[in-house]
Amino acid sequence: MKTIKNVAIYCRVSTSDQITDRQEIELKAFADRAGYTVVDTFIETASGSKNDRQVRAAVMKLAKGRHIDAVLVTELSRWGRSTTDLLTTIQEMAGWDVALISLNNKDLDYSSPTGALMLTVLAAISQFEKALLIERTNSGLAAARARGAKFGRPKLKEKDKAVSKHRKAVTAYLKADKSYRWIADELHISKDTVMAISKELQVTA
C-alpha cells in the first residue's frame, strides 16, 4: 500500500439541522495519529442518494490533480450514493493513486483482491439496509393510509381560496370605508368573503 502523506477530510450530513462536528473531530484526530497532513476539510449537506453533490465533486477534482494521497471519511455511507457509485469512485481515485479511507474499515486495503471483495460486500449490505428502510417506510405509510391518515397539504376550501385571493383588495376597500355589499359587487365575490377578511383585520388590529 502506498505511503500516505497529504489527505482531504470529507464530512457529510443529510439535513441542515444536523452538524458535522463529531465527524470532523474523529477524522482530524485520526489524521494526527497517523501523521497525515490535512490539506483541506470539506463539509457537505446533502442526501446520501443525491446526484448533485458539488462538494464531493470538488474533492474528486483535488484527487484527480493528485494534490492528495487519500480522502478520509468516518464511514463509507458518507461518501457513496449507492453500491455502484461507491465502487466506481474508489476505482476512479485508485487510478489517480488516491485512496479512500473509512474510519470504520481503516485497516482494509481496497486495492487488494480481498479488499475489493470486502468493499463489494460492505457496500451491498449498506444498499440492502437502505432498501429495507424504504420498504418499512412505504409499508408504514400504506398502513397509515389504510387507517384513514391524510398526507400532504390540506386542500383549501373555496371560501379560503377566495379570501386568500382577494385579501389585499378587500383590505384596501375596507380601509377606504366601503360597505361590504359594495366591495362584494365590485370584486364579484360573496359578502361572506368580505366579512371573513374584515374579521381577520379586527383580530390583528
Residues comprising the chain, all counted: 205
User: Cell triple for residue 116?
Assistant: 475489493
Report how far residue 138's alpha carbon sits from residue 17's, in angstroms, rounded to the nearest whole number. 24
Distance of CA 81 to the CA centre of its chain: 12
The answer to whether 101 and 38 are in contact (CB under 8 A) is no
Q: Which residues contact 78 (CB under 8 A, 6 or more apart)?
A: 10, 11, 12, 23, 48
Q: Catalytic site residue 47?
A: no
Which residues are annotated as catalytic?
Answer: 14
